[in-house]
Amino acid sequence: MNKEKVNRVVIVGTGAVGCSYAYSLINQGVVEELVLIDINEAKAEGEAMDLNHGVPFAPSPIKVWSGSYQDCADADLVVITAGLAQKPGETRLQLVEKNTRIFKQIIKEIMKSGFNGIFLVATNPVDILTYVTWKESGLPKERVIGSGTVLDSARLRFELGKYFNVDSRNIHAIIIGEHGDTELPVWSHAKIGIENLDDVLERKKDLKKECLEEIFVNVRDAAYHIIERKGATYYGIGMSLVRITKAILKNENSILTVSSYLEGEYGQNDVYIGVPAKLNRNGVQEIIEIELNEKEKEQFNYSVSVLKETIKSVI
């Protein structure tokens, strides 16, 4: 009798981000099998035990266990959250050398298992480490994805929702570029509900266009503000990773601003960067190339150049 196909996700790294993601996955009933791997095996065991005690309250059955890289052989998705966290005052790009060394070892062990699924990278600097994962794994570019600017776009939607007093789920606006200091908002395509952002500002005289820059700066620097106050960010990224996971495993063809490999799109090559992409069971099905205005093009090209400089230092 054939074993029924189930979705297996392996999480490498059971720190705050990995565990927030695992907790959200269980609560949303996204997968049937969830494996936790950590260099600290006792920590992974403890997290699996704790999460298992919540399974009776989950919306659907799920098996959770602490495992080894061998468990990646049958995984549909391996999500990497392992690595050193950003310290107060440290930029995501300053983390690059330390986390690249860790990643090379992790990818080697995963590929040894015979893994042939999709990689989803969350560790910072995410665009660089997604590139490293692609290079080290040898998998097709479509099956190596970074969390990109999915969280940044959610932060922007939240802040705009607050400003315009509209449900953030009805805000259609994105951040693209590096997940970091050179990211940019695509104001030229932003919509509040079904209205263009500029039309709403024109109609509501009490709302000021100048406030948009302040909103964006708060979005861009959100991680710094949170790290300053509580030491790390993990709930937002945990839920962002679940959103990407659902798009992939449920074959949704959803469009999310993940870190994807460019080959001519937006006039750029050989870089992983946050852009709108259609996701399904194959990974990145298509990169959506939107028309940017001159300022946005300039900012995006600068973001690419910063990432490429950093990639050179580690590859």
Q: Could you tell me which residues are annotated as the binding site for substrate?
A: 86, 92, 124-127, 152-155, 233
Q: What is the largest CA-CA distance in the chain?
A: 67
Considering the candidates 53, 179, 189, 225, report the single residue annotated as catalytic.
Answer: 179
Positions at the binding site: 17, 38, 43, 69, 83-84, 86, 92, 122-127, 147, 152-155, 157, 172, 233
The bridge status of strand 63-66 relative to strand 33-37 is: parallel
Q: How far is CA 305 from the centre of its chain?
A: 21
| Cα distance between residue 142 and residue 44, in whole Å | 29
179: annotated active-site residue = yes
Q: Are 283 and 118 in contact (CB under 8 A)?
A: yes
Pairing assessment for the beta strands 33-37 and 191-192 based on DSSP bridges: unpaired
Which region holds residue 245: left if phi is over 0, alpha if psi is between -120 and 50, else beta? Answer: alpha
Beta-sheet strand order (sheet of 171-172): 171-172, 191-192, 195-196
**Tokens 């709302």 sit at which residue?**
207
- Separation of alpha carbons 23 and 11, rounded Å: 12
Binding residues for NAD(+): 17, 38, 43, 69, 83-84, 122-124, 147
- Tell me the helices (H) and strands (E) count for the chain, helix number first: 10, 14
Which tokens sit at 240?
């962002």
Structure tokens at 273: 């960067």
Active-site residue numbers? Answer: 179
